[in-house]
Amino acid sequence: MSLITNVMDHSLDDGYAEAAARKKSQGEGGMPKTLRAKLGLAAGLVLAALVVTVGAAQARVAAPAVAKERQELIDRIDRESSAADKLEGAVDDLRDDVSARQRAALRKSGGGARTDLMGVLSGATAVHGPGVKLVVNDAKEATTGGNGSNPRETSGFSDTGRVRDRDMQRVVNGLWASGAEAISINGQRLTALSAIRAAGDAILVDNKPLVPPYTVLAVGDGEKLSTRFQNSADGLYLHALDENYGIRTGISTETDLRLPAAPSVIVRTAQPSTEKGTS
């Protein structure tokens, strides 16, 4: 108890008190005593105030210039964005023109029903009819996080609740295999040459970025198409994504779906080689 009482009564070490008393007696503590020291302190304070004032004045003078440069950058971005939008519109117009010329050429070829069927299967013509509507969306709790512990995790789709390009590939392939005659994703018509790829966190269909939810329309015999797809390996895969990762899905049969023509159809044909083989 005596030790505790001593600590409480002498919370400040006696050595500190003795040092403070010694400095006070020698005139070393407090404000400077000599005129020279006082002038030095005043000069230091004036210099510090001058530096702060000059810095503030320079910042105030430079502010309009910085604001002007920022506005110029914003205006330049707006101009370039407008130019890009105009170019994109021109590209769309040219694609529509090419598609119209392709359809006209198919009609002039006199192929009849076979030509119409080729136009539907190749995506060169717009179609409508019964089919199924399949909506695939990210999980509600999907984020951009991820700790790399899940096998579904990739650099572009780090969260397990995100729909990936590989998932959409399986959905489309499953619908084709189940009897779909024409398919579109978010209004983008698919052809035999269509590619579903990823770029960062976005899914690209023929290099066009799409955003969730992904609405897949498939023309065909609605009831049979829906049943076959849901019982197929790809349909069960989509069901497993719903159960294990919370990816939201919904499928329904529709009486009349309308799918646009593909923006451009590239026809590739093989030609026999005229060169003789070497032995």
Assign residue 242 the CATH number of its domain.
3.30.70.1880
For residues 136 and 246, membership in a common domain is answered with yes
Residues of the chain with confidence (pLDDT) below 50: 144-158, 279
For residues 169 and 235, membership in a common domain is answered with yes
Is residue 5 assigned to a domain?
no
The residue among 123, 94, 91, 258 whose CA lies nearest residue 187 is 258
Is residue 268 assigned to a domain?
no
Is residue 7 assigned to a domain?
no
- Round to whole Å and give the CA distance between 137 and 159: 13
For residues 97 and 136, membership in a common domain is answered with no
Is residue 24 assigned to a domain?
no
Number of domains present in the structure of the chain: 2
For residues 169 and 246, membership in a common domain is answered with yes
For residues 167 and 246, membership in a common domain is answered with yes
The rounded percent of the chain whose pLDDT value lies above 90 is 28
Q: What is the DSSP string of 170-204?
A: HHHHHHHHTT-SEEEETTEE--TT--EEEETTEEE
The residue among 241, 245, 227, 220 whose CA lies nearest residue 170 is 241
For residues 133 and 252, membership in a common domain is answered with yes
Is residue 115 assigned to a domain?
no
For residues 131 and 209, membership in a common domain is answered with yes
The distance from CA 146 to its chain's CA centroid, rounded to whole angstroms, is 16
For residues 238 and 131, membership in a common domain is answered with yes
Are 103 and 119 within 8 A, CB to CB? yes
For residues 179 and 207, membership in a common domain is answered with yes
Is residue 6 assigned to a domain?
no
Are 204 and 198 within 8 A, CB to CB? yes
Q: What is the pLDDT of residue 154?
A: 43
Q: What is the pLDDT of residue 235?
A: 94
Q: What is the pLDDT of residue 39?
A: 76
For residues 158 and 245, membership in a common domain is answered with yes
- Round to whole Å and give the CA distance between 261 and 98: 11
pLDDT tens digit sequence for 188-242: 899 888 889 988 778 999 888 888 999 999 999 989 999 999 999 999 999 999 9
Structural domain span for residue 76: 34-108
Q: What is the pLDDT of residue 169?
A: 94
Is residue 264 assigned to a domain?
no
pLDDT tens digit sequence for 175-187: 999 999 999 999 8
For residues 136 and 104, membership in a common domain is answered with no
Burial of 46 by CB count in 10 Å (0-12 exposed, 13-18 middle, 19+ buried)? Answer: exposed
For residues 131 and 222, membership in a common domain is answered with yes
